[in-house]
A = this chain, B = another copy of it.
Amino acid sequence: MTAILVVDDEPQLRKALRVNLQARGFEVLEAADGETALHLAAASRPDLALVDLGLPGISGLDVIAGIRGWSDLPIIVLSVRGAEQDKVDALDAGADDYVTKPFGMGELLARVRAALRRRGADADEPVIRTAAFEIDLAQHRATVGDDEVHLTPTEWALVTMLLRHPGRLVTQRHLLHEVWGPGFDHETNYLRVHLANVRRKLEPIPSQPRYFITEPGMGYRFEPGSEG
């Protein structure tokens, strides 16, 4: 059975989540603070975690970082409206997605399903295949159909950064920091231009991206084709 770890200090919200998730056939583990969250995650190995950022004691951010130290399980962050910086920090720390409180249960469940689906589809091979293109990480090669496509160093860095975290929302800051180094954290211009080039080379319809998705205001996400 699929187990989901719920980390939130409000008993009401925990209860609401428990009821809804169990109704969908998920097993639910609950933690009211960061410490028990980390212990539970290590002991029970859940398949996904929902983490509230506003926790007493150990912050939600530390919970994310603590889990990411040893596991790649999908993490969805719950945060209050307006706390944009918190969301970005959480994503930078390795969260996969976020939901803004208050949220509809339907939206949350959709994101949970999406995160689980992506993770399952995450092919663990050194070559990533989609319906449109194929990227061989070991050989450093990209092909579209039968034609080899040349990616510039910057483009390659961007693509691998996104491919390395299938389905995960990668923040602009994170991308800029990894590809251009420190000091470029706000040059979102670069991302727009180079992402456009990547799409022109890899996307079937560059103006309607299907694999390299923009999350306005936050960052970008590689969406592996649902292979089924």
Q: Complex: how many Å from CA A85 to CA B124? A: 14
Tell me if A200 is interfacial: C-beta within 8 Å of chain B.
no
7 additional A-B pairs beyond A91-B126, A91-B138, A139-B169, beta carbons within 8 Å, are A69-B82, A87-B126, A88-B137, A88-B164, A140-B168, A141-B167, A156-B218
On whether A82 and B70 interact (CB within 8 A), knowing A137-B91, A217-B153, the answer reads yes
Cβ contact within 8 Å between A139 and B153: no
With CB as the reference atom, state the residue of chain B lying closest to A73. B81
B residues within 8 A CB of A153? 216-218
- Shortest CB-to-CB span from A100 to chain B, Å, is 5
B residues within 8 A CB of A8? none
Copies of this protein chain in the complex: 2
- Shortest CB-to-CB span from A120 to chain B, Å, is 14
Contact among B72, B80, B140 for A70, CB-based, below 8 A: B80
* CB-defined A-B contacts under 8 Å, sample of 16: A70-B80, A70-B81, A71-B82, A72-B81, A72-B82, A82-B94, A84-B165, A85-B164, A88-B160, A91-B138, A97-B125, A98-B126, A138-B168, A140-B221, A152-B217, A153-B217
Q: Complex: how many Å from CA A139 to CA B221? A: 9
Tell me if A95 is interfacial: C-beta within 8 Å of chain B.
yes
Q: Complex: how many Å from CA A85 to CA B160? A: 10
A10-39 to B contact mask, C-beta < 8 Å, 1/0: 000000000000000000000000000000
In the complex, chain A residues 143-179 whose Cβ is within 8 Å of any chain B Cβ: 152-153, 156, 160, 164-165, 167-169
